[in-house]
Amino acid sequence: MQLTHVRTHPFVASRLAAGLLELHAWVYDIKSGTIKAYDSESGYFREITRAKGNAEFPKGNCPIHDHAD
């Protein structure tokens, strides 16, 4: 719901349309220590897991991007 709402703001909408912005949604469960990231393909939140010291994010939903200039 919050992602849907924030997409309606003109500043955000224009940058999304231009491909200059990506939005990500995470849910933190303090009690269990888990973090879930929203998977836009399935419409569900999926737990972020670690493998060999690197975080694995749902496809297309990595919050860290390596931009080469």
Instruction: Let me know if residue 18 belongs to a domain.
Output: yes
Give 20-56 pLDDT, tens digit per residue.
999 989 999 999 889 999 988 888 999 987 655 555 5
Instruction: Let me know if residue 40 belongs to a domain.
Output: yes
Instruction: Let me know if residue 68 belongs to a domain.
Output: no
Does pTM top 0.85 for this prediction? no
Instruction: Let me know if residue 43 belongs to a domain.
Output: yes
Instruction: Let me know if residue 69 belongs to a domain.
Output: no
Could you give the dihedral angle defined by the CA atoms of residues 19, 21, 22 and 28, in that order, rounded to the nearest 10 degrees?
180
pLDDT-derived band at 69 (thresholds 50, 70, 90) equals very low
Instruction: Let me know if residue 58 belongs to a domain.
Output: no
Confidence (pLDDT) at 66: 44
Tally the domains of the chain: 1
- Which range of residues forms the domain containing residue 23? 1-51
Q: How far is CA 24 from the centre of its chain?
A: 2
Are 49 and 56 in contact by the 8 Å Cβ rule? The answer is yes
Nearest one of 38, 44, 31 to 63, comparing CA atoms: 38
> Tokens at residue 27, please?
């849910």
3-state secondary structure at position 16: helix
